[in-house]
Chains A and B, each alone.
Chain A
Amino acid sequence: MSKKTLPDELRSVLAEHALDAPEAEASIAHVFSQTLHGDPLAAPRATRRLPHRALLTAAAAVLVLTLGGFGIVSATRQHGSSGAASSTADRASQPTPASATPRGLLPLSSRLAQRSGGATRGSIGDGQMPAAPPPPGLDCTGTPSGKAVLGGSAPLEVSAAVQPLYIYEFHCADAQGARSASTVLSYALISGVLQQRTVLVPVENDLYVDQLSTAKDSVILQGQRGPLGSYLHVELTSTDGGRNFQSRTEELAAPCAGTDLAVSMQRIDAITSGLSQTPGYTLLQLRNKGYYPCVVSGYLTVAGQPGAGTPTETLLGPAGGVTDPTYPIVQLVPGGMATAMIENGSSPGSCAPATSLSVTLPNGQAVGKVAVPALPLCAALLHPLVDNERGST
């Protein structure tokens, strides 16, 4: 059986074969129709109007624990004007390459591209959002080379109000894809100018918003508590026309522990075509072998052995599966897989080729070792973890 042992081959074949299983959506619907006579969460609760794909993945998330309030308190109402609208920060209109769409939760930019690409809401002008205002009070000086970016936006229809509110999420991002906590604000369009109404989520709450959507009277957020924390579902609901919001927070996934994951690798050698040559790369694959979903984001720590050094540079880009300014928050359902690409460098580097890699999660927990065929690691480029079961590209 080539170079692998039969048990290893079996593991590999079964893991790959399992991905050919059908989507669970039809089975879930059938089970609900036979037991609960419908979907108990979707039907009576109109607030869960997440996009289809996101809903499926969120549905596949962990045991949902009500945390009794994450502290995203009812909005501090602010009437100060935010000034004229600016289009420079609005990524909503930027096209997102289809190849970058991950399999799991869609990043905000992808969702925004979908929204601006045709999702309509009749009462709010065909889903058009006013150009985003500059983020107020967002200090990015704490993020090295960081700049403020618009993560997402959505119109909010509120009861007893003629005009909708507009919800914007901002955060800082640096060149390596790291980001800061979010600030989420609501605005009203008054005489053609966006004016800030409320701060729904202040930066101090340390929520890294990954998704933003709205239902009538509700803003629905999903994101990570801190850069390495749990993945949360937060609903902010207003009963007074958008002046104040009550929050409800649930934990969807705990941070991945090293023991939750199994590491494997896939080596893709260099390909020469005509005059060009693509450098080879190695995909580190982390599979959730636990019973519950977990969440992970950022760069792995990879150390080559014996004494073969570590990748000296990190890289954020489409080659590694990322087209956003920030790396994704990856939710791993049981059996799900995340990958991180190690791109071969253009030179062999000065260190001895590694024959095995020691892999550690961004939170410092060791995952394990994986054998690799003579990888010149210290000249390699490390990409962040992405949610992609079949590879990063």
Chain B
Amino acid sequence: MTDVVGGVGTEFSRFVRIHSTALLRSAYLLTGDRVDAEELLQDTLVRLYPKWPKVVAAELPLAYVRRSLTNNFLNGRRRRSARDLLFAEPPERGYEPDPAGALSNRALVRELLDGLSAKQRAVVVLRFYEDLDDAAIAEIVGCRRPTVRSIISRSLSQLRSETERRSAAAPAPQTNGSNR
């Protein structure tokens, strides 16, 4: 591990340089927070460094690291949820309908993603951002393929119904709701 010029150190360094941007984007989608994303990526890579030869020996080293990143995220969320019992209900976030339809949809989808559980969110990110199939997602998240399909179906259903509910409930576009 001390041979940083030609050995494991260099391999690790190259991997970090090459893939950090993409991994950080994944981490950001998982956490929804820039600082949390950086911490998640840094923690994952630092943890993996001592066993880097094992990572390199994997068929797809990047997939190995992604799996670790996702597991780290899920484990961290479990630890955090155990710590954060005082906040039984998340702070309410306002959603103001945006007359520009596309923007509303995006903001809404983004907000609704925040409302998914950590596992649901991880599966959604792996499917719709990483374009992974059921088998790959199941391996990363640590569940069976039918479970992945179920989570995706449930998440989409949840997103769809919430979108429709809010669209139906949203009043005609107004400025700051001043006449409500």
Q: Chain A contact residues: over half helix, strand or loop, or mixed?
A: loop
Contacts of A9 in B (CB 8 A): 105-106, 109
Contacts of B42 in A (CB 8 A): 27, 30-31, 34
Task: Decide yes or no whether B45 CB sits under 8 A from chain A.
Answer: yes
**Other than the known A2-B101, A32-B16, A333-B18, what 4 A-B pairs have Cβ atoms closer than 8 Å?**
A14-B125, A36-B9, A291-B63, A335-B21
Task: Name which of A15, A27, A60, A293 has the most chain B CB atoms within 10 A of its CB.
Answer: A27
Neighbour of B18 across the interface among A19, A20, A40, A293, CB < 8 A? A293
Q: What's the least CB distance linking B2 to chain A, in Å?
A: 9
Task: Name which of B26, B27, B109 has the most chain A CB atoms within 10 A of its CB.
Answer: B109
Chain B interface, number of residues (Cβ within 8 angstroms): 48
Q: What's the least CB distance linking B67 to chain A, in Å?
A: 13
> Are B106 and A36 in contact, CB atoms less than 8 angstroms apart?
no
Instruction: Tell me which of A61-69, A132-140, A184-192, A377-385 binds B.
Output: A61-69
Instruction: Tell me which of B89-97, B140-148, B156-164, B170-178 binds A.
Output: B156-164
Contacts of B72 in A (CB 8 A): none
Contacts of B110 in A (CB 8 A): 13, 17
CB closest chain-B residue, reference A293: B18
Supposing A2-B102, A14-B128, A32-B16 touch, asked if A24 and B62 sit within 8 A by C-beta, the answer is no
Q: Which 10 A-B pairs have the closest CB atoms?
A: A59-B17, A21-B28, A40-B4, A24-B20, A334-B22, A18-B25, A14-B129, A35-B49, A10-B128, A21-B25
Neighbour of A60 across the interface among B9, B17, B45, CB < 8 A? B17
> Are B16 and A21 in contact, CB atoms less than 8 angstroms apart?
no
Task: Decide yes or no whether A28 CB sits under 8 A from chain B.
Answer: yes
Task: Decide yes or no whether B10 CB sits under 8 A from chain A.
Answer: yes
Neighbour of B24 across the interface among A1, A16, A22, CB < 8 A? A22
B residues contacting A by CB (< 8 A) are 4-5, 9-10, 12-14, 16-29, 34, 37-38, 41-42, 45-46, 49, 60, 62-63, 101-102, 105-106, 109-110, 113, 124-125, 128-129, 131, 156, 159-160, 163
Chain A interface, number of residues (Cβ within 8 angstroms): 48
> Are B128 and A24 in contact, CB atoms less than 8 angstroms apart?
no
CB closest chain-A residue, reference B22: A334
> Are A6 and B18 in contact, CB atoms less than 8 angstroms apart?
no
Q: What's the least CB distance linking A181 to chain B, in Å?
A: 27
Q: What's the least CB distance linking A360 to chain B, in Å?
A: 21
Q: What's the least CB distance linking A15 to chain B, in Å?
A: 7
Contacts of B49 in A (CB 8 A): 31, 34-35
Supposing A2-B102, A6-B156 touch, asked if A32 and B13 sit within 8 A by C-beta, the answer is yes
> Are A17 and B29 in contact, CB atoms less than 8 angstroms apart?
yes
Task: Decide yes or no whether A125 CB sits under 8 A from chain B.
Answer: no
Distance, CA A10 to CA B152, complexed state (A): 12
CB closest chain-B residue, reference A30: B42
Supposing A6-B156, A27-B42 touch, asked if A60 and B25 sit within 8 A by C-beta, the answer is no
> Are A60 and B21 in contact, CB atoms less than 8 angstroms apart?
yes
